[in-house]
Amino acid sequence: MKLPIHEQFYTFQGEGVHSGRAAYFIRTFGCPVHCPWCDSAGTWHPDYIPKHITRLEPKALAQQVTQTRAEFTVITGGEPAIHDLNALTDALHAAGQPTHLETSGAFPIRGTFDWITLSPKRWKLPLAENVARANEFKIIVDRPEAIGEYVSALTELGADLNGQDCIWLHPEWSQHNNPEVLDAITDWIKTHGSPYRAGWQLHKNYAADLMDQRSAPGVPLGGDPDRGF
């Protein structure tokens, strides 16, 4: 079994509870969700898909991880859950690697994960079964009203938000200097308190991912629906 891999690289985790820790990232190819502000458009957008897509065996991927001092491996995308990840998580665990997943939650999760970050997207909302499995939520705030929209959606899907350790509110990167978006995040946190936390893509300030030459340059769509669909 081989998986289509867009990129793999050694860096640190720039988001969420595990922010700042050494991490190995495996980014799978393909995503049916098509967010108009996607910053990994090379995994699906017809204007940015690379000419060659590498397919690798799970054991070969795990072997690459063992050559680093990564504290855990993050499987992301695109949307990684469109693939059967059982063989990959088995190989990583056999190599002694805790394995994390970053997903929209919109597709059944196949694989064994030590940590699941679920980032809901309005274009295809998560499955209730995945909401129940999530260790943390990451809400991407592309406009001020997005926070309430996603909180309502997660609640309707059965999420116990008061019992959740962390719900991260991240400004969508093309909006990270937009005072309306930043003020909305600040106001929500000041009004609601725990479990809501302000998030940031710390790795971008450091350009940490780009220090590994295997990392593909980002292709942010920047919120243009004409380019995103």
* pTM, rounded to two decimals: 0.94
Q: DSSP secondary-structure letter at 14? A: -
Extract the tokens encoding 182.
């930043």
CA 55 to each of CA 49, 85, 93, 225: distance values in angstroms, whole numbers, following the listed order: 15, 14, 20, 30
Q: Which residues contact 106 (CB under 8 A, 6 or more apart)?
A: 33, 79, 81, 121, 124, 125, 126, 127, 130
Extract the tokens encoding 27.
């980014």
- All structural domains of the chain, each given as residue ranges with its CATH number in brackets, are 3-228 (3.20.20.70)
Residue type, 202: L
SS3 159: coil
pLDDT tens-place values along the chain, 229 residues long? 899 999 999 999 999 999 999 999 999 999 999 999 998 999 999 888 989 999 999 999 999 999 999 999 999 999 999 999 999 999 999 999 999 999 999 999 999 999 999 999 999 999 999 999 999 999 999 999 999 999 999 999 999 888 878 999 999 998 999 999 999 999 999 999 999 999 999 998 999 998 999 988 777 677 665 544 3
